């Protein structure tokens, strides 16, 4: 039998989750483990079935919105986010007074701005929460949560966030959670592109890719990955007021980077392999290490076959 979904005597919120894919189902499972009154909604019966004994299954987002204090939106696309909130059967049709919408979907900033307008018109608070960690972290209740919103809204949501997150960081006002997630995704996708370009070069040179992956994983465990240089408060170049020893070390590191990248591009040229990312990294390496201004290069050597 599904639990009563009204706010209990303890004042704990009733939470609804719209969208039970990899992330949404993980969020819902975390809420169930924490004993939170839960309502779920998904257009796929097979997605709501696992929650039939632990939550109320709403017929549509409108029913869910009328029952909950917090509506978590975990659908995939921008269009879906707007539809499940503002459509004919959207969660904002008859929301519970004083409730909050929490967007965990990764959407365009303009979509979030639209959601904020809709929520405000409906008398509902809104916050955005970028999540990272993927399906496995979602299933374990260990997502990394980057939340944006007013202080009071974020603090109200924190107990909910902690049911499915291993780290909750308020990034700033509304929109900052999404912005942080987009920046974080840039690191992920760009690092994967770097790994791909490295594989292209290695394969052309006759290197077994599984062996390359083995040594990169072992090396990253020692020296860190993409976040290794993310320790400064600004990306602006160092100044005379900065620690001279640190600046000297970064100059040395930049010099080694230029040397290594140019050697890689020379190898690529000899093998007929284009390395546009290597060329761009060489051009921007001084900025990368904080010892010079950023320079976004025009296509040049290494950028074309």
Residue 110 — left, alpha, or beta (φ > 0 → left; ψ -120 to 50 → alpha)?
alpha
Alpha-helical regions (H) of 205-302: 209-223, 244-271, 276-288
| 38 vs 199: CA distance, rounded Å | 46
| 210 vs 23: CA distance, rounded Å | 30
Q: Kindly list the catalytic residues.
A: 181
Residues forming beta bridges with residue 101, ordered by sequence position: 71, 126
> Among all chains, which residue has been given the structure tokens 């140019």?
262
| 104 vs 143: CA distance, rounded Å | 11
| 224 vs 231: CA distance, rounded Å | 12
Residue 60: which H helix or E strand, with range? none
Burial 27-49 (b: 16+ CB within 10 A, else e): bbbbbbebebbbbbbbeeeebbe
> What are the angstrom distances between the C-alpha of 134 and each of 165, 176, 222?
12, 20, 24
Burial class (CB in 10 A: 0-12, 13-18, 19+), 93: middle
Burial class (CB in 10 A: 0-12, 13-18, 19+), 237: middle
Residues forming beta bridges with residue 39, ordered by sequence position: 16, 56
| 102 vs 82: CA distance, rounded Å | 13
3-state SS, residue 277: helix
């Amino acid at each position: 039998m599904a639990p009563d979904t009204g706010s209990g005597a303890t004042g704990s919120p009733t939470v609804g989750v719209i969208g039970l894919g990899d992330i949404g189902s993980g969020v819902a499972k975390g809420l169930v483990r924490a004993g939170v009154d839960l309502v779920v909604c998904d257009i796929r019966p097979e997605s709501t079935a696992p929650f039939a004994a632990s939550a109320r299954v709403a017929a549509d987002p409108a029913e869910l919105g009328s029952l909950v204090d917090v509506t978590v939106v975990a659908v995939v696309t921008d269009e879906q986010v707007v539809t499940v909130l503002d459509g004919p059967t959207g969660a904002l049709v008859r929301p519970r007074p004083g409730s909050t919408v929490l967007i965990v979907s990764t959407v365009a900033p303009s979509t979030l701005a639209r959601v904020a307008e809709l929520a405000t018109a409906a008398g509902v608070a809104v916050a955005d929460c970028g999540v990272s960690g993927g399906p496995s972290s979602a299933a374990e209740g260990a997502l990394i949560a980057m939340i944006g919103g007013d202080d009071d809204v974020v603090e109200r949501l924190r107990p909910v966030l902690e049911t499915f997150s291993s780290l909750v960081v308020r990034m700033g006002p509304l929109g900052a959670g999404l912005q942080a997630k987009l920046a974080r995704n840039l690191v992920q996708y760009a690092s994967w592109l770097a790994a791909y370009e490295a594989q292209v070069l290695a394969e052309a040179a006759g290197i077994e890719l599984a062996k390359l992956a083995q040594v990169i994983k072992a090396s990253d465990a020692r020296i860190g990955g993409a976040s290794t240089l993310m320790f400064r408060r600004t990306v602006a170049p160092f100044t005379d007021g900065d620690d001279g020893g640190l600046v000297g070390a970064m100059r040395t590191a930049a010099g080694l980077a230029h040397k290594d990248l140019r050697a890689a591009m020379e190898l690529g040229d000899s093998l007929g392999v284009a390395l546009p990312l290597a060329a761009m990294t060489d051009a921007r390496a001084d900025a990368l290490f904080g010892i010079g201004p950023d320079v976004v290069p025009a296509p040049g050597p290494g950028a074309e076959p």
